[in-house]
Every structure is written in C-alpha cells, then in structure tokens.
Structure 1
C-alpha cells in the first residue's frame, strides 16, 4: 500500500507550512506515531508524527520549502518493492513557494525534455536551475540518476569540468584582490522562530499604521489588591501577579470599548464579542504570545493559573497550535527588566497592544500636594485603521481609572 503524506493543517488560520526538518531520510523505515518531520507554521514549529508504518520512499518537499496545506510532501509504502512512480511524480504546486535553492528541490521527480533527435532528457528541478544559472547545455550532461535522470551532482560536475578547461587569455596577469579592512564578525542563521517573528512584525509595521497613547497610573490600590488576594489565596499556593490583575482590568475595559477589541479585514472591521488576551512571553529563541480565552468572564485567580501554565509551557517548548489561536488583544510587560516604558508592535490581526513598564516610586501630586507613589507607565499601540485617537485615549483612560480604583471592576 502506498500512502501520500500531505502538508497538515495544524490550526484554523494555517494556509501553508514550511518543512524545517525531516527526521527520516529516503529509504528509512518509519513506525506509525514516530516523528516524521517538523513543520513551521505562521505561529509555531510543530513536530508531526507519521500516520502509517512503512518506508519513506520519496520526499517531495525538501527542507526550507513552503507549500499550502494538503499539498503532497512525501510518499510512504509498506515495502520497498511497491511501485510509487505515479505518486512520486506529484510535487507541490499551488501555493508552493521556494526559498533559496530549495525552490527547485521540491520533488525528486524529474521533468522530461526533448533533446536532439527526439531524445528525452530527464532532469531534476534543482539540477535544471543550476544548469540555467551557469549556462550549461543539459544535452551535453550525462545523467547518473534513475532512468538516466540528470541530478544536481551531474550538473555541478559539468560546471567544474568547464572551469578547468577554460583557457587563460595570453598575456593576462592575475590581479591582486582589492585590499579590504578585516573585521571580525559572526553570521547567525535565523532560527525558524526568529524568521516568523521577523516576518510578522515587518508585516505589522508595513500594513498597520501604528498610533500611540501613553499614561502614568498610580498603583497604590493595585498593589493593595494584589497583596490582599495573595494573602487570601495563600493556602491554594497561588501567586497573584500585577500582570494577572492587569489582564482582568484590560478585559473589563475592552468589554466597554469594543472598538478596540477588533481587527481590520480590508473591506470591513470585525469587532469581537469574546475577549481573548495574548500574553507576550520571552523565551530563549525569541517571543511567543499564547492566548488566555474569555478573560472577561474569568476570575483573577483563574487568569493567574492559566497565565502561569502557558508561560511554563512556552519556556518548555510545550505549547500547542491551539494555544496561539483566537487572540483579540495583547499585553506585554517588560517591567521586570526595569524598563520604564516602551511602544510595542501590534500582533496582527489584532488592533491593539498594551505595553506595561516597571512600577517604581515616583513623584506624584495627590490632593494638591507633592508626594511619592508607586507609578506605572502604560503605553497603548493601536491600528489607526481601526481605532481613532479619541477612542484610544478614552480606552486607556478607563484602564488607568480601574488601575487606580480596582473596585470599579466589580461596580
């Protein structure tokens, strides 16, 4: 039995995926449930298990190549003797987008051409690409692959032989290479996660006109609430953070200002009924944003437990694709690094993100007198296509109001 392996659909928003790594090579035996390959989606890297047991006969989508979901990417058969000629000729088409030389290596199958006197020439896509780039006549290349197929190695050999035979012009003297100032450096290859981050943030800044609103909030009452909750929940081994309470406060404000809890869809604006808060978590490889769902209906202790669980699984690389889905607004906090304030980039397709700075004792005027209070800077970034300045200002003012008087959440 021959089975065609397809690019899996790992989330509701996934349109295409990139094979980051094949854990098996052609000819290897693979058991059902064994990790077959790793795929990079627009959100996360996921290891994909084999759904069948057999031999990996052909890899149709090489590492580094993208393809749309449900595109054929490999062929597995129960035995090495089974005919896979028809399935092996399939290769990713619609939506497949190559990166670098992997573009031409989408399939091990070859594309027949006509040579001189009607002779058929079989050549792999990658070999054809290299031949075209180097001006090699493929009719003069002897193929060493199956059925005389010309492989990449065959073309590279032809390129090398031509270079050795190329005559040197009489009288030509070798010229010294231009002297360059030597500088020490290190090129670091992008990890799949860093590549995703770069792509999504560039997309956000390029397409969404960012608009910023900043306020400073007195956190005296917020600290008191946190300390009181921590004391009452101590027996449950709960650890309530200021961020947990901020998530609840922002969720409350988003229910009042639904225009901020929205996305731009080209010809319309979609306002969400549910409030799902994305929680920015720093990991060694970069930044991930898992989502806590329905935060407007959950208690602070529930939010605290879910936030701690998501953060732990994020750092342990145990998040699932569903953990990233459905976010309507994001909160990012760099207060633990002593950052007073910063402007964050919106996480598309959301229209807003709140950047939280460090809480620190600063001068403040209370009842007409100068005093010192624990202050925190809140910086709101919004998509100006969706959120006007006045709406952003009213929303952030409401967040500040509740931060300074948390009991308003229960009024």
Structure 2
C-alpha cells in the first residue's frame, strides 16, 4: 500500500515550513533512519528521517518550496513489492499517513518532544538556523481547530480529517476516532453522516486559559516600504528571522514591561572567579563571569519565587526550579539554550554545559529540548562594551536580566568613596505576573549574591 509522506510538525508551534532540500530522488530506496530531506521550520533547519522502508515513488513538493502546510503530502513511498509507477499515480491516497501536528496513523513522524501524545519514532536533528528563543505554546486553532465534545473534552483530529469534515458538513463532536488515542482520521470522517459543521467552533474558554494566545502583529511588505532611491541589496528573511521579528513585536505589544536597574560591584566576584579557576585548572575548567551570573540569577529566582513565574491567561504558573535561558548569537540570529535547574548545579557544571550548548548553537546543532522552555533569561552584552540596556522579555517567560560591561567607576565601598569595577544589570519584568516590589526584591538579592559571591558556592 503506497504511503503518503507528509509535512511533519518539527516543533510544537510549526504550522508550515520550507522544504529546503531533498536528499533523495524518485527511484531511491530508503530504510528506517535514512535522511530524506532538510526542512526549515520557524525554529531551525531540521533533518527529516525515514521510518518506513520502501522506494521513493513520487516527489510531490519541489525543494525550495515555501509555506508548505503541516500535513500536506510531500512525497509518496512505495512499499516492498509494490509497483513504483502505480504508487506514484495513487499519490499515497490509500494510506492516511501524516507527520504533522502530532496526527499520525502510521509511523512516518518526525516531531519535536511534546508535540504528539504518543512517542515519536523518528526524532528530528537540527542542522542549521536555530531559532532565537523558545516559542510560547501553540495557539488554539479557531477555524478548524479543536472543538469541545459534549462532555467537555477536546476533539483530536488530523488536519486532513478536519478539512474533509468542513467540506462535508460533518460534526466532529459526533464522530468516534479510530486513530491512536481516539484521534479522528480520514476514514472516520469519510464514513460519517453530514451534520452540523464544526468548522466554526472555537476552543473552549478553559483551553484558551490553558494556553494564552498572542495575536501576530502585521508586518510591512517590501512593496509597501519606500526605498527613497537609496541603493540597497534585498536579502530574503529566513524562517528563523521571520519568527524573531514576529515574536519580539508580539512581546513588546502584548507584554507590559517594567524595567529595574541596579549597579553591582564586581570585584569580589572577579576575585572568587580567579581563585576557582586556579583550583579547577587541573580539570581543564575555566569559569567565565557569565557562568557565575547564571548561577546568581538562578539562586535569586529560587530565593524570590514570585519572580520565577509565567503569565498564562487565566492562571499564573509558579515554577519549582530555575531553568535559565542564556542568549547566544548564532549565524541565523539569537537563540537561547537552557541551563536546566541552574540553581542546584555546581558552577563548574554550568560552565561546561554552557560551553557545549553555545558551540552547538553556533553550529546549528541544538535539539529542540535544549532551547525550548526556561523560566527566565539572561542576556550579556558586556563583551561589546555596552554599559546598560533593556532586554525584551522572551515569552512565555516572566523576566529577562540584561547585563552590561564591568567598568571602573567611582563607588562607595565600606562607607568611603573608592574606584571599583561596577556592572549595571537591568531586569525586564512582565507586569501582568510580577509586581514592581517583587522585581525589586529579585534585583536586590541578585546584587547581594554577586557582591558577596561565596553564597554561590555554598
């Protein structure tokens, strides 16, 4: 039976992608684990692996094609013993196989962690262009999206099944799904009697509260932006840069930012770092100032749990550990790999892990679980000589700490004016979730930990 290979959902928020490159051609035999294509998502360029064995009978979407919807057929695979030409003619219609949105009735799936409600059997591997920051949870679908059943449960159906239901006027709430975990698939809808169409239903208020929705901001097209006759070269945005532009615009439009700045004396921290590096030299570990700041932010978040939160519509999510996302400049744009449970890790472990993650970020090899999530972020531009800046919150997180350069300044030390190495740090807080007084408490604790850094190794 021919198998339709469909555009997979390679990240929790992916709705469409660019089929960047085919690594197979018609007539090629593939086995489970073979890399078939490179797909550019809103987060990264991922390698798409085969699960089933067979022969490529048809390529339905040419490489370089943009805006390919999740669930669209991109190729047809003829199984062992099948006639390749006949399989190509069928277009894979005899098999309702999909890799998208966690909807699957065969094993052709390549999903990021947490997309599907069943274990994915082919894991995507990042190859380039990691995305700037972890994306907030996927928006509830409002056109052909999940509709409430009579008992209040959400309907789980494949995109193809939803399209057919909309065309036939079938009420999905009245259809029993035969797919995994009761998922409604193509065959279920084709055999259903037409009824009230459910295409206009929206997600329940409970679902909307569970995952806050962000309305994409309109963007200006090149045709609408005058060039004023100035010579320029137009560089097309990749999906990662488009996502950065969209998310940062959303963050500034939908999140009420409040900014709090403190000046921090760095001399005690620099002394401790020097002593620790001397002790760790035999192990090949060399701590950076940023490693200690990651630890300080994590411990401050644990000490002030009211700032280790996320605004989620009708609820406030209070996190029990501090996962710190750290901004790293990658060739395709900014990305924030995560130090998980940074408050309870040794600084040497943070340093080793951060070096590994930063290297993978620059090489475009981060896996989704290494940059999606986090409870707060840290961005350090001190190496560029930036004295102070206000960072944009990385939704759905509740705060981000922006760190400037350490520089010699007049500073009062032990009641007397002296010259000290001073750094300005600015916290950006989501005022929907974090009050100004709580943000101020976090900045106070962070300052105390840096100025008396033995608490970082206690």
Please classify the TM superposition score into its range, dividing by the shorter chain length.
Answer: 0.7 to 0.9
Match of 1:375 among 419, 422, 428: 422
Give the direction of change, closer, same or farther, for the CA distance of 1:53–1:279 in structure 2 (3 Å limit): farther
Give the direction of change, closer, same or farther, for the CA distance of 1:28–1:346 in structure 2 (3 Å limit): farther
Aligned to 1:216: 263
Q: Does 1:360 align with 2:407?
A: yes
Q: Tell me by how many angstroms 1:96 deviates.
A: 12
Aligned to 1:401: 448
Aligned to 1:237: 284
Aligned to 2:313: 266
Match of 2:66 among 64, 67, 71: 64
| Deviations 1:161-198 (CA, angstroms, capped at 9, x unpaired) | xxxxxxxxxxxxxxxxxxx9743111111022212211
Aligned to 1:390: 437
* More divergent stretch after superposition (389-398 vs 16-25): 16-25
CA contact (8 A) 2:268 2:452 kept: yes
* More divergent stretch after superposition (297-306 vs 193-202): 193-202
CA contact (8 A) 1:262 1:386 kept: yes
Aligned to 1:81: 85
Aligned to 1:278: 325
CA contact (8 A) 1:30 1:36 kept: no
Q: Distance in 2 between matches of 1:240 and 1:227?
A: 9
CA contact (8 A) 1:61 1:91 kept: no
* More divergent stretch after superposition (212-221 vs 200-209): 200-209
| Deviations 1:350-394 (CA, angstroms, capped at 9, x unpaired) | 111111111111111223322110101101111111111111111
List runs of 5+ in structure 2 lacking aligned partners.
Answer: 102-140, 144-159, 161-226
Q: Distance in 1 between matches of 2:239 and 2:29?
A: 25
Q: Distance in 2 between matches of 1:44 and 1:375?
A: 37
Bigger Rg over Cα: 1
Aligned to 1:310: 357
Q: Tell me by how many angstroms 1:19 deviates.
A: 2.8
Aligned length: 330
Structure 2 residue matching 1:408: 3-state secondary structure: helix
CA contact (8 A) 1:65 1:96 kept: no
Give the direction of change, closer, same or farther, for the CA distance of 1:345–1:20 in structure 2 (3 Å limit): farther
CA contact (8 A) 1:60 1:88 kept: no
Give the direction of change, closer, same or farther, for the CA distance of 1:315–1:181 in structure 2 (3 Å limit): closer
| Deviations 1:318-377 (CA, angstroms, capped at 9, x unpaired) | 111121122111111111111111111111111111111111111112233221101011
Q: Distance in 2 between matches of 1:39 and 1:310?
A: 22
Q: Tell me by how many angstroms 1:37 deviates.
A: 2.5
Give the direction of change, closer, same or farther, for the CA distance of 1:273–1:37 in structure 2 (3 Å limit): same
Q: Distance in 2 between matches of 1:28 and 1:380?
A: 57
List runs of 5+ in structure 1 lacking aligned partners.
Answer: 98-106, 108-179
**What TM-score does the superposition give when structure 2 sets the normalisation length?**
0.66
Q: Distance in 1 between matches of 2:246 and 2:62?
A: 22
Give the direction of change, closer, same or farther, for the CA distance of 1:256–1:16 in structure 2 (3 Å limit): same
| Deviations 1:275-334 (CA, angstroms, capped at 9, x unpaired) | 111111102221111111111111000000000000111111211112112211111111
RMSD: 3.0
Match of 2:394 among 347, 350, 367: 347
Residues 5-404 of structure 1 mapped to structure 2, 5 A cutoff? 5-11=5-11, 13-24=12-23, 27=26, 29=28, 31-32=30-31, 33-51=33-51, 52-59=53-60, 63-68=65-70, 72-78=73-79, 79-83=83-87, 84-85=89-90, 87-88=92-93, 182-404=229-451
CA contact (8 A) 1:341 1:356 kept: yes
Q: Per chain length, whose mean CA-contact separation is higher, i.e. which structure has more relative contact order (CA < 8 Å, sep 6+)?
A: 2
Q: Tell me by how many angstroms 1:67 deviates.
A: 2.9
Give the direction of change, closer, same or farther, for the CA distance of 1:184–1:265 in structure 2 (3 Å limit): same
